[in-house]
């Protein structure tokens, strides 16, 4: 038996990884694709550049389809007065202030009028923000998710999305991490427990079909 099958066997035996249908309406959440996470000298590296390029395609599809779109940024106060456990573990997070270049959404994904920009200083885009009610008000039930990093803010947001009753669709080539091993491990785990995980090519037909029905 291969290592992959050995790994999967207890999950299959215990009933993890069931397929989850997508139901309308559909929304898109793009997590923390800002300049600092695009730069390997700051918080980036790994496969994040590829995730940004694929997310540009996903965002174009979402806008064409009229899906609600939300973006998130990590933003701390200029004086660090809102420092927290996240910034204790990663002190450089405090450099992501409102007007800092590294905290700005990458130009390829610049929000347009009507798209929500969530500011946060913890991993989840839902914790302490108005994201969940904003999505609910717009009828979102299935939430496509892109962004960085897979093992951190993406995972935290996926878990909270599920807890709020949204059906997360993690677009595997639209999320990235500074190292591939945690990226792969977290995609596997989210797919077993919390979300549908599929690439952009496979996701789009299912998302478009879901958006046409209640």
Catalytic residues: 153
Torsion on CA atoms 8, 9, 14, 20, rounded to nearest 10: 40
Secondary structure (3-state) at 116: strand
Span between the terminal Cα atoms of the chain, in Å: 43
Q: Do the Cβ atoms of 72 and 121 come closer than 8 Å? A: no
User: Position of tokens 């945690």?
Assistant: 182
Please state the length of the chain.
Answer: 214
What residue has token string 């004086």? Answer: 79
Residue 158 contacts by C-beta under 8 Å, 6 or more apart in sequence? 145, 168, 170, 190, 194, 195
**What residues does 76 pair with on adjacent strands?**
97
């Amino acid at each position: 038996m291969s290592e992959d099958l050995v790994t999967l066997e207890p999950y299959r035996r215990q009933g993890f990884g069931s397929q989850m249908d997508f139901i309308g309406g559909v929304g898109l959440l793009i997590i923390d694709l800002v300049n600092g996470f695009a730069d390997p000298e700051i918080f980036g590296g790994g496969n994040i550049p590829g995730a940004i390029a694929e997310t540009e395609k996903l965002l174009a599809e979402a806008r064409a389809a009229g899906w609600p779109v939300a973006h998130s940024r990590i933003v701390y106060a200029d004086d660090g007065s809102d420092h927290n456990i996240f910034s204790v573990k990663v002190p450089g997070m405090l450099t992501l202030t409102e007007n800092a270049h590294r905290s700005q959404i990458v130009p390829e994904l610049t929000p347009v009028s009507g798209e929500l920009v969530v500011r946060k200083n913890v991993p989840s885009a839902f914790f302490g923000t108005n994201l969940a009610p904003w999505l609910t008000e717009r009828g979102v039930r299935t939430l496509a998710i892109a962004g960085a990093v897979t093992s951190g803010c993406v995972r935290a947001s996926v878990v909270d999305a599920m807890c709020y009753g949204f059906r997360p669709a993690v677009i595997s080539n639209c999320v990235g991490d500074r190292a591939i091993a945690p990226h792969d491990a977290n995609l596997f785990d989210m797919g077993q427990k919390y979300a549908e995980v599929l690439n952009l090519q496979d996701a789009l037909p299912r998302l478009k079909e879901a958006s046409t029905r209640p």
